[in-house]
Structure 1
Amino acid sequence: MSITLVMPTYNGGAYLREAIESVMRQRYQQWELLVSDDGSSDGTRDYLLQLKDPRIRVFLQEKNLGIFGNLNFLFQQVKTDIVQILCQDDWLTDEYALESCLNEWSILPEDVAFMRANHGSDFSSKDGGAFEAQWLPRIVDPGISDLYFLMFGCIPGNLSNVSLRTEIVAKHGWFDQRLPYAGDFDFWSRVGRSQRWVVSAVRVSTIRTHQNQASKTLNKVGELMPQMGELLRRLYSKVDERGLIDWRVRVAMQIVYVSQQRWAGLRSRMKTGSWSYMKHVNKYIGRGPWEIGVVFGWLIFLLSGGGRWFKKAAIGAVLSRHQGHLVR
């Protein structure tokens, strides 16, 4: 097996050198790194142009493509069967990272589309993914994938957690550039609907937490809500088609999505004095086929402490109810 790393960049000069040097330190050396800069103005391009390693190919975009347009471009340049995504502000955990990644792929069935690595060790949630690990099988089948995504959200999390078969990007219609905040959630859930995918604890990348990361800067006034509402409706509809929707699912969604986002809306109001975030939540997340009425919705908000309490219990009740459909 051989592997290509793809790295979309945009004004990432503060972290980029560490990311690329982590690739160059790998014990496994038969890699290629494709970097596509999306119009940086912070010295990123100067750094990229001075790289002399023949295994690194640099592309300079004339106009900004956005993160998912840039990823689509990069995947069109890949020549290997396996791709590891590496964001500009993250790094490969140690010198064995690519070797560990390829060792995992070497034992996976050929129909597995992508692998979510670092599970339980990237600390993308307060418990480091331990609760997800209680419920997620190693290999997730299409028949139950939508329910998992509906309950847990974007399970792959940061893009740097994911390696995948190159062919699946074109096969499943590319990353949707119309969803600049949720294109990854959309893509992974679409793929999971028709192909198996894997959850792995193998350490491949380390996710950096900082104030300028996209998750903290792109949803200040609820910009994510219209896209999130669209994805949740799609997932809900697919789960409903399989006959897995009941009151437990609706209550869980009230806690996991509606209440949590309303709590974020209240915090935004206290910080900025604006109700914009809350209006987006009520319009796009508060309304939907999972709605249980205004009074009950706000009652659940209060009882769950704005979605901070009983989340695990609500999700557990859903997955326990449908355990017969789960393949472990």
Structure 2
Amino acid sequence: MSELTSENQPEIDILLPFYGDVALMREAVHSVLAQDTGGWRLTVVDDGDAEGVPEWFDSLADERVRYFRNPRNLGVTGNFQRCLELAEYERVTLLGTDDLLAPNYVRTVRAAAARHEGIGMIQPGVEVIDEHGEPATGLADAVKHRIYAPRVREELVLGGEPLAASLLRGNWLYFPSLSWRTEAITAIGFRSDLRTTQDLALELDLIERGERLLVLTEACFKYRRHGASVSSTMATDGDRFREERALFQETARRFGALGWRKAARAARVHSGSRLHALTQVPGAALGKDRAVLGTLLRHAVTNR
């Protein structure tokens, strides 16, 4: 077996769909520029109109960085899809505006992809941080790691119905940290009818098509957990769970027809999503919002 070098490892398109906090976006960009190896290109697609952003990118004067501003607002899903249209390298990462790459991200992912040629998805090790960039240990991530995520000592390859069932019980992946095989993700793309569950829907579609997931232990990504994100806001007003319920029902039917009985049952039960809804109940009760409270309780304890 020949020794793996940077020359025979796949290159990565790091795609950053941007709309929102300019300061956080700059932090994310600087984290890419601080990579300890080459073999990457950063593409930023700006879906907003904040002043000074194009000029800031011009000042970087870095040929590894491409910047585009959409002539009209495409929304979250539309901008994600636009990013995919610009991908040209063998692998892609869809970096969140408020997340950070550790300096070893590209090196770690490229080496892993070379060891597992053709792997559809790579989940590297992730450190969760708060809005100030400090390590965070919240309930959501504790549940992910202790209940739903598999135990991985070195690295682990998963796929098929067992992986689908695992993610339907509780989605333990960190979407912005994932490295995707470009040909696989662009063949499916993002569903325009979803706002916060595009990640799970995409992962399940890829698994159904036979793509596998490689799970790594080396931490090389910093995922920011805070209450201002779209998914967090939708969780507090109940919209997230209405969307999740529809996706779970659809998936249960689909996997049932496929003969994936364990995965279909996991979709019907969706225990992780129910638990998440329960954690939002106290806030809804204190806010005396009966409509949201009803949505949360219905999602947590019924299949209606």
Q: SS where residue 45 of structure 2 aligns?
A: strand
Amino acid corresponding to residue 246 of structure 2 in structure 1:
E
Partners of 1:184 and 1:255 in 2: how far apart? 18
Q: In the TM superposition, what whole-angstrom CA distance separates every residue of 1:210-251 from its partner, at most 9, and x where no partner exists?
A: 3423332333310112210012113333454323379x969x
Larger strand fraction of residues: 2
Given the superposition, is the C-alpha separation of residues 40 and 218 from structure 1 closer, same or farther in structure 2, using an over 3 Å criterion? farther
5 Å-filtered alignment, 1:42-57, equals: 43-57=52-66
Amino acid corresponding to residue 120 of structure 2 in structure 1:
A
CA contact (8 A) 1:146 1:238 kept: no
Deviates more, 1:209-218 or 1:178-187: 209-218
Given the superposition, is the C-alpha separation of residues 42 and 216 from structure 1 closer, same or farther in structure 2, using an over 3 Å criterion? farther
Q: SS where residue 193 of structure 2 aligns?
A: coil
Greater CA radius of gyration, 1 or 2?
A: 1
Query: Among residues 83, 90, 114, which one is paired with 1:74 in the alignment?
Result: 83
CA contact (8 A) 1:181 1:224 kept: yes
Q: Unpaired runs of 5+ in structure 1?
A: 292-328
Q: Which of the pair has the greater relative contact order for Cα pairs under 8 Å at 6+ separation?
A: 2
Given the superposition, is the C-alpha separation of residues 88 and 260 from structure 1 closer, same or farther in structure 2, using an over 3 Å criterion? closer
1:151 paired to 2:169: yes
Note the C-alpha offset of 1:106.
0.6
Q: SS where residue 27 of structure 1 aligns?
A: coil
Partners of 1:188 and 1:199 in 2: how far apart? 14
5 Å-filtered alignment, 1:32-181, equals: 32-41=41-50, 43-94=52-103, 96-110=104-118, 112-118=119-125, 121-122=127-128, 125-126=141-142, 129-131=145-147, 132-134=149-151, 138-152=156-170, 154-157=171-174, 159-172=175-188, 174-181=189-196
Amino acid corresponding to residue 106 of structure 1 in structure 2:
A
CA contact (8 A) 1:145 1:193 kept: no
Given the superposition, is the C-alpha separation of residues 193 and 266 from structure 1 closer, same or farther in structure 2, using an over 3 Å criterion? same
1:208 paired to 2:215: no
What's the RMSD between the two structures over aligned residues? 2.8
Note the C-alpha offset of 1:156.
1.8
Query: Among residues 27, 31, 47, which one is paired with 2:40 in the alignment?
Result: 31
Amino acid corresponding to residue 191 of structure 2 in structure 1:
D
1:226 paired to 2:226: no
Partners of 1:80 and 1:73 in 2: how far apart? 15
5 Å-filtered alignment, 1:198-277, equals: 198-240=214-256, 241-244=259-262, 253=269, 256-258=272-274, 260-270=276-286, 272-277=287-292
Given the superposition, is the C-alpha separation of residues 259 and 28 from structure 1 closer, same or farther in structure 2, using an over 3 Å criterion? closer
1:16 paired to 2:25: yes
Q: SS where residue 173 of structure 2 aligns?
A: coil
Q: Give the equivalent residue in structure 1 for 2:14.
A: 5
Given the superposition, is the C-alpha separation of residues 279 and 6 from structure 1 closer, same or farther in structure 2, using an over 3 Å criterion? same
Partners of 2:105 and 2:275 in 1: how far apart? 38
CA contact (8 A) 1:150 1:236 kept: no
Runs of 4+ aligned structure 1 residues displaced above 6 Å come to: none
Identity %: 17
What TM-score results when the alignment is normalised by the length of structure 1?
0.75
Number of residue equivalences: 280
Given the superposition, is the C-alpha separation of residues 284 and 42 from structure 1 closer, same or farther in structure 2, using an over 3 Å criterion? farther
CA contact (8 A) 2:100 2:221 kept: yes
Q: In the TM superposition, what whole-angstrom CA distance separates every residue of 1:141-193 from its partner, at most 9, and x where no partner exists?
A: 213222112212x3323x32111111112322x11121012111211121122
Given the superposition, is the C-alpha separation of residues 254 and 16 from structure 1 closer, same or farther in structure 2, using an over 3 Å criterion? closer
Q: Give the equivalent residue in structure 2 for 1:309.
A: none
Q: Give the equivalent residue in structure 2 for 1:185.
A: 200
Partners of 1:280 and 1:221 in 2: how far apart? 9
